[in-house]
Amino acid sequence: MHRRLFFIAWILLLGLSGALWASSAGMSWAYEVTGEENPLARLRGVLHYLTNFLRPAPQLAPDVRIAHTDDPPFGVNTFLEQEAEPEKRERTVRMIAEAGFRWIRQEFPWADIEIHGKGDFEDRRHIPYRSAWEKYDHIVDLAERYGLRLIVRLTSPPAWSRRDGEARGAFAPPDDPEDFADFAEAVARRYRGRVFHYQIWNEPNIAPEWGSCPTCAVDPEAYTDLLCRTYRRLKAVDPRIVVIAGALAPTLSLNPYPPNGINDVVFLERMYRAGAGACFDALSVQGYGLWSGPTDRRLRPYVININRALYIRDVMVRHGDAHKPIYIAEMGWNAVPDWVGDKRFGQVTEEQKARYLVEAFERIRREWPWVAVASVWFFKRASDRERDQSFYYFSIVQPDFTPLPAYEALKAYLRQPPRMDPGVHTAAHWALRWEGPWTEGGEGVRRGLPGARVVWTFYGGRLRLEGASEGSARLRVEIDDSPPRFFSLSAGSWAVEVPVAVGIHSAQVTVEAGPVALARIRVGRGEEAIRPALGLGWLALLIGWAVRRGAGSRFQDRRGHATKRPASPSSRSIR
C-alpha cells in the first residue's frame, strides 16, 4: 500500500510537471524556482525543488531588525593593489562609481605591507625604496574621492610570520596569531575614521587559504582564536569598526586536509562552539551560482548554489545572531570560453552573466533582508596573462578597461532611483528623502515637527511605521495616487500599518501635528513571500506523507535493521 501511494504520487508529479513544461507560464515559474535555462534541466529542477518541503526549512528570522543594512548593498571586488600605475587605479575607481556601486571589497595583503619583518613597513623589494603604505593610502584616498566605502580584507601572511616560511603554503596562518592582530591594529589606526569595515581572513575553511601542506588541516577553533584576538584589537582602536568574520567557502567536504576543507555549515557551527559569536559583527560568505542562475531556490545540503547562504543564516539565527547581517563577499557567474578546459565554476555566456548579476541583486533586495552588502566577483584584472585560467572570466571589465555586458547591465540597474525593500529599517535608510523640520534623534531615529515630510519608494506588500510621540500627534500617509490616510497618535509608542498590493510603490508621510519620532519602517512582502511554495507544494506534501509511511519498509533489510545509506559526497570548494 505504501509503495503504491508513493508510486501514484510520483506519477501525478511527473504529469503535472509535464503540463508545466508545456506552458510558457509554467516554464517561467520553473525558472523562478530552479534557475535552470535548459527545459529538461528545469523539469528535473522542479522535482528537486519539491524536495525542499520534505526537510525542515532554515530559520531566517526575516522580521528582525538587522544591523548595518541601511546602506545600499551594491559592492564589487577589486585588485587595485596589483595596478602598478596610479592612473589605472583611479580609472578603475571612477568607473566603479559611475556604474553605481557603493562598496569596494579590496584586499590589504599583510605580506605586501609588513613585508620584511615585524614592524617594518618599508618596501625594499625594488629601488627606490618606499613606504609600503603608499599604495594603500592612495586606494583609501580614491575611495573617499569617489564616494565609495571600503571593505578591507586582511589576509595573506608574510613568510617571516612562520618559522618555516612558505613551506606550509603562502596563505598558512602565522605561528603567533598576535602578530596578525598587531598588523590589523596598525591598519585600523592608520585609517581610523576613514575605513570602518574589516574582513578577517578569507575562506578559512578550505585549503589553500589555511595552508596547503599535506598536514595543514583547516581548524575552526584556531581561526576563532585569531578572529577573537583581532576583534578585540580593532574595537579598541575604534568601537565603530564593523568586524566581518572571514568569508566561508561553500564546500561539501568533511576532510580538513588539502586539497579539501570543512563543510562551511559545519565549520561555522564549530566556530560558534569555540566562542566566535562574541567576536564578529557580521559574517561573510561566498555567493557563487556555479551551474544554475540566481533564482535557484532548491535547498539540498549536498548541492552548492546561491541558495546555500540560507543554511549559513540558519546557523546564525539558532545561535542568537539573527540581528547580525551577512556580507556576500564574492558573487558571480563564470563566462569561461569553450577552449579553456577548466569548467569547475560552471559556464555561462557573457550575456547570461550580465542578466544573472542583475537578477541576483534584485532577489537579494526583495527576499534576503539580512544581507548588508553583496560584492560582485570581480571588476577587472590588471592584465590578461591569466586568460587561460577559468577564474579570469568572472570579470565585468577587461584589463584594457573595455566594459563587458555585465558592467553595462549593472550600470543600468544600479543607477535606478533608491528603493526600500522588505525588512525592518531605521530612519537612516538610504532611500528616504527628508523634507522640512526633521532632526536626528540617534539610533536611526528622526524627530519631525508639523510640516515635516519624508518621501521614498519601496517594494513590498505591507507598510508599517513605528515611533513615539510626546503628546497627541497626527500623521498623513499617502501611497501612490490613493487618497491620503490620516492617523491620530496618542502619547507614547505607536504603530500604524498600511496594506498595499505587492509591487513598487511611492510613499509620502507628513507630520500634521506633533512632534513625532519615526524609529522604524517595516516593509513586508505580503503573499508573494509564500508564492514559490504554492503551485506544486501540496503534491510534495503527499509525497512526503507517502515516503514517511513507507520509510520503514523502504530502508530496512530483511532482518528488520536499518541499512547503511551511502556516504555523503564531497567536493572541492569553488576557489
Per-residue pLDDT 10s for the chain (575 aa) are: 555 544 555 555 555 555 555 567 778 889 999 999 999 989 899 998 998 888 899 999 999 999 999 999 999 999 999 999 999 999 999 999 999 999 999 999 999 999 999 999 999 999 999 999 999 999 999 999 999 999 999 999 999 999 999 999 999 999 999 999 999 999 999 999 999 999 999 999 999 999 999 999 999 999 999 999 999 999 999 999 999 999 999 999 999 999 999 999 999 999 999 999 999 999 999 999 999 999 999 998 888 999 999 999 999 999 999 999 999 999 999 999 999 999 999 999 999 999 999 999 999 999 999 999 999 999 999 999 999 999 999 999 999 999 999 999 999 999 999 999 999 999 999 999 999 999 998 889 999 999 999 999 999 999 999 999 999 999 999 999 999 999 999 999 999 999 899 999 999 999 999 899 999 999 998 654 344 444 444 444 444 444 444 444 333 333 333 322 233 333 333 33
Q: Is 424-524 in the same CATH topology as 74-416?
A: no
**Among 339, 328, 335, residue whose Cα is nearest residue 349:** 335
Alpha carbons 190 and 452: distance in angstroms, whole number: 41
Question: Spelled out in words, what is the top-level CATH class assigned to the domain 74-416?
Answer: alpha beta
Fold exhibited by the domain 424-524 = Jelly Rolls (2.60.120)
Alpha carbons 50 and 66: distance in angstroms, whole number: 30
Alpha carbons 394 and 377: distance in angstroms, whole number: 6
Rg of the chain on CA atoms, in Å = 26
Quote the cell numbers at residue 86.
596610479
Alpha carbons 196 and 243: distance in angstroms, whole number: 8
Alpha carbons 198 and 276: distance in angstroms, whole number: 16
- Whether pTM > 0.85 for this model: the answer is yes
What residue segments make up the domains of the chain, in order of their start? 2-56+530-554, 74-416, 424-524
Q: What are the residues whose beta carbons fall under 8 Å from the beta carbon of 88, sequence distance 6 or more?
A: 382
- 442 pairs with which residues across the strands? 445
